[in-house]
Amino acid sequence: MPKAGHNGKLDKSAERGLVISIPRLFLYHRGCEDALRAGDRVLTSHELASRIGRGMSPTQIRKDLSYLGSFGRRGHGYDLVVLVKKLARVLGLDRDWRIAIVGFGNLGHALATFLEFREEKFHIAAIFEEDPSLIGTTWHGVTISDTNDLEIVLPGLSCAIAIIAVPASAAQAVAERLVSSGVGAILNFAPTNLALAPEVAVRTIDLASELSILTHHLA
Amino acid sequence: MPKAGHNGKLDKSAERGLVISIPRLFLYHRGCEDALRAGDRVLTSHELASRIGRGMSPTQIRKDLSYLGSFGRRGHGYDLVVLVKKLARVLGLDRDWRIAIVGFGNLGHALATFLEFREEKFHIAAIFEEDPSLIGTTWHGVTISDTNDLEIVLPGLSCAIAIIAVPASAAQAVAERLVSSGVGAILNFAPTNLALAPEVAVRTIDLASELSILTHHLA
DNA sequence: AAATGTGAAGAGGTTCACAGCG
DNA sequence: CGCTGTGAACCTCTTCACATTT
């Protein structure tokens, strides 16, 4: 979180008590879609909680949803269509997104395949690689470009999101070039912390970190 | 405010205030190793914070480290060798780990490659697949087994950690079979919540969830 | 009666301020 | 002096209890 430099006490510009967890809203969204597919038309916070499983409590769900407005029917539950639409809007999942991938080795290729065929809302619209044997070839209709040409190729493709799947040593430079080519959000698989302007959304998935959480439990 | 005015139920006060974040300890560990490689022998909380970058504060670092005991030298800093050793012990990174992978499609293959060649402490020791054209072949010395034979093959290989890279519909069943074959921790890439005994550590990496965090920022 | 919606209490985690010690 | 170590203040998020509405 970006924290203010103030050390005083008046810095509480709080205003909105927007205490909400986006990953949790995403779980709700998926749970609702599953329920819709199962034929439900209405859903209570209890039903959603047990569908999601894990430590989700009905109270938590209601609290979260209350921040989006009150559109449940007391004594009844939530209208599933209304709810899923609301969640999709908040999450930005009410439209499609074009994604650029930089680094088309094993991991980049796997991620592209996963997204293109399992996620309707996300489309691979640009691929960049350094390996000369891949440059110029196409993958499911997308031409693989030279990473060096990123500034030339990318700006025309309106990709707001990029995935970085290059070695850690190259990640920071790639990230900066992506941002100056119009990318506003980055999903980073390189095990390094990207230092970028604060308005750029960055999410780093660090395999070693995830594994160390597991080894900690086992130790 | 006075002490704990308890009007609630059980009082689970006192005890240890073990308020510690494992992902953060992992960042410290990596930061320390980088500093060691750079030739440092001693490190202050300030130096570590600026090395990690982002919103890490020296105070947070000192607070976290204080839970591991006090082994810094006041007015001086932390002995890097001592610190990295301590962190490794807590994180369970002071030994090697054998990992089983279930699902050797694009993603499983990419993860295996990433781990085997980029992470010293983690070794792929078992691979399971359903695709008949892969069963019986080997990957860097590891024979790919039929997922159906998991209960026969896995128990002898002492893999405490498993990675699930199968479709969501198969993940829960695979997870249960892994646990009954001796696995104690699971890194799950299937977009589904695994319901397992609470003593099994589970970490789910959900690509769609990560992307939705980004789309939320952009929306 | 059944479920939502929400102020208030409670936990949990972070930051402050400074004591403690090389 | 500089930097660690830490109780206390503080802030954020979760849970409780119950008023509210269909």
Instruction: Please tell me whether any atom of strand C lies within 7 Å of the Cβ of A66.
Output: yes
A4 assigned to some structural domain: no
**CA of B185 to nearest chain A CA: how many angstroms apart?**
6
pLDDT for position A55: 85
Q: Which of B90, B115, B130 is the last residue of a domain?
A: B90
Tell me how far CA of residue B111 lies from CA of A5, A71, B98, B218, in angstroms: 40, 43, 14, 29
B116 C-beta neighbours (distance < 10 Å), count = 16
Q: Is residue B5 part of a domain?
A: no
In this prediction, residue A5 carries a pLDDT of 28
Of the residues B90, B125, B157, the one at which a domain ends: B90
pLDDT band at A7 (very low <50, low <70, confident <90, very high): very low
Distance B29 CA to D13 C1' (A): 28
Residue B154 has pLDDT above 60, yes or no: yes
Here the CATH number for the domain that contains residue A179 is 3.40.50.720
Amino acid whose CA is nearest the C1' of D15: A59
DSSP string spanning A162-207?
EEE-S-HHHHHHHHHHHHHTT--EEEE-SSS-----TTSEEEE--H
Do residue B162 and residue B205 come from a single domain? yes
CATH code: domain of residue B64: 1.10.10.10
pTM for this prediction:
0.91
CA-to-CA separations, B167 to A24, B36, B129, B171, in angstroms, rounded: 22, 41, 12, 6
pLDDT score of B189 more than 50: yes
pLDDT at residue A54 in the model: 80
Note whether A112 and A189 are same-domain residues.
Answer: yes
The least confident of A3-7, A42-46, B155-159 is A3-7
DSSP secondary-structure letter at B96? -
Boundary residue ending a domain (A90, A106, A125): A90
Examine the pLDDT at A9 and tell me if it is beyond 50.
Answer: no
Segments forming the whole domain that contains residue A135: 97-211
Give the model's confidence band at A18: pLDDT under 50 very low, under 70 low, under 90 confident, else very high.
low
Position A156 in a domain: yes
User: B105 and B23, same structural domain?
Assistant: no
Check residues B217 and B4 and name the one with the higher pLDDT.
B217
> Does the residue A124 lie in any domain?
yes
Regarding whether B169 and B103 lie in a shared domain, the answer is yes
Tell me, yes or no, whether A82 and A101 share the same domain: no
- Whether residue B101 sits in one domain with residue B206: yes
Q: pLDDT tens digit string along B10-54?
A: 223 333 446 689 999 999 999 999 999 999 999 999 999 999 988
Q: Does the C-beta of A73 come within 7 A of strand C?
A: yes
**Domain identity same for A52 and A102:** no
Q: Over chain A, what is the mean pLDDT?
A: 91
State whether B53 and B154 are in the same domain: no
Check whether residue A101 and residue A86 sit in a common domain: no
**Total domains present in chain B:** 2
Residue A69 sits in the same domain as residue A114: no
Domain identity same for A77 and A117 = no
pLDDT tens for A138-194 read 999 999 999 999 999 999 999 999 999 999 999 999 999 999 999 999 999 999 999
Q: Which amino acid belongs to residue B50?
A: S
Question: What pLDDT digit, counting tens, does each position of A36-89 carry?
Answer: 999 999 999 999 999 999 889 999 999 999 999 999 999 999 999 999 999 999
A105 shares a domain with A54: no
CA dihedral of residues B148, B153, B157, B163 (deg, nearest 10): -10
* Chain B neighbors of A215, CB-CB under 8 A: 91-93, 97, 121, 161, 185
Measured between beta carbons, the chain B residues lying within 8 angstroms of A89 are 219
